[in-house]
Amino acid sequence: MSPTSPIFPGQQATANKHNIYHGIILILAVILAILRSPVDAVAREVKSPQRNNSQDLTASPLKQDQTDSPKLPAQSEPTFGTKGQKHWYVQGAAATTLDREEAFPQRFALAGAGLSKFLFDGHSINLELNTIYFSQPDDDALGLNLALLMRWHFLRKSNWSLFIDGGAGVMGTTSDVPSKGASFNFTPQAGAGVNIKLKEQRRLMLGLRWHHISHADLFGANPGRDSIMGYVGVQFPR
C-alpha cells in the first residue's frame, strides 16, 4: 500500500473554498438558466407582434385598397319620360269611319314606325311614317303618311303612364281618298293612350285616336273622312 500523504489544515481550508466557489458558480449558472428562459419567451413575444405589425403594415394597403375601393352602384333604369330621352317604335292600327249613314263603311289599316324625343319631362315630339291601306266602295288605295305629333304623359308611374296626343300630317295615295276626293290629303288627329313597361326598357303602347282626312278645299270637292282608330305599338330606347 502506498503511504497516504498527510493533509494539513491550510490545504483543507483551500479545498473547501474551491468547492464553495464551484458550488456558487453552479448555482449562479442554474439561476441564469432559469431566468433566461422566461426572458427569451418575453423577447419572442415582443418580436412576434412587431413582425405581425410589419406584415400588417405591408398587407394593409392592399387590404385597404380592396376594402376601401368604391363599389360601383348598380345602374338603375332611368325614369321614363325624362327630358332628353329618345325612343323609336313600330305600330299597327285599324280604323273605321264614324259616318253611320254610309252604306259601305270605309276602313283602313296602318303599319309604320316613329321616332320620339322628350323635349321636357313628360312631353315628347313624335315623327311617324306610316303606310295605309284603304278599303272603299270604288277603288281601294294605298297611301304613305308622314305625321308630326305632340304627346303629353300627364300621369307617369314606375311601370305605366297615361298620355294624350295630337298633331297633323300629309298623305299621298294611289287613288282618291275618300272616293271622289283627292289623292293628296292632310291628316289631323288626336287621342289618348297608355304606355306600359315591358322588359329591357321596351314599352307597350295602346291608344285610341280620332283621325281625319281632307285636303282643305285645295282640289275642289272635299268630302273628307272622320274615323276612329285603335292602335298598338312597341317602343324601344335609342
pLDDT tens track for 118-139? 999 999 999 999 999 999 888 9
Residue 46 in 3-state DSSP? helix
Per the listing, cell 303606310 goes with 131
Position 20: which residue type?
Answer: I
Q: In 3D, which of 223, 102, 85 has the Cα closest to residue 153?
A: 85
Burial (Cβ within 10 Å: 0-12, 13-18, ≥19) of residue 80? buried
Residue 79 within a domain: no
* Mean pLDDT, residues 32-49 taken together: 53
> Each residue of 210-232: b (16+ CB within 10 Å) or e?
bbbbbbeeeeeebebbebebebe
pLDDT at 28: 60
Whether 105 and 209 map to the same domain: the answer is: yes
- Give yes or no: residues 95 and 25 share one domain: no
62 assigned to some structural domain: no
The CATH number of the domain holding residue 152 is 2.40.160.20
For residue range 202-220, list pLDDT tens digits in order.
999 999 999 999 999 999 8
Strand, helix or coil at 66?
helix
Residue 64 lies in a domain: no
Q: Are residues 42 and 119 in the same domain?
A: no
Query: CA–CA separation, 142 vs 135, rounded Å?
Result: 9
Instruction: Specify whether 180 is located in the same domain as 93.
Output: yes
Residue 96 has pLDDT above 60, yes or no: yes
Residues 145 and 213 in one domain: yes
d(CA 230, CA 208) in angstroms, rounded, equals 5
Task: Say yes or no: 15 and 96 in one domain.
Answer: no
Domain membership flag for residue 134? yes
Domain presence at residue 76: no
Is the full-model pTM beyond 0.85? Answer: no
Asked if the structure places residue 114 within a domain, the reply is yes
Strand-pair category, 225-237 with 203-213? antiparallel
Classified as helix, coil or strand, 222 is coil
The total domain count for the chain is 2
pLDDT of residue 57: 47
What is the distance between the alpha carbons of residues 156 and 194, in angstroms, rounded to a whole number?
A: 10
Residue 189 belongs to what domain range?
A: 86-237
Looking at the DSSP bridge assignments, the partners of residue 213 are 225
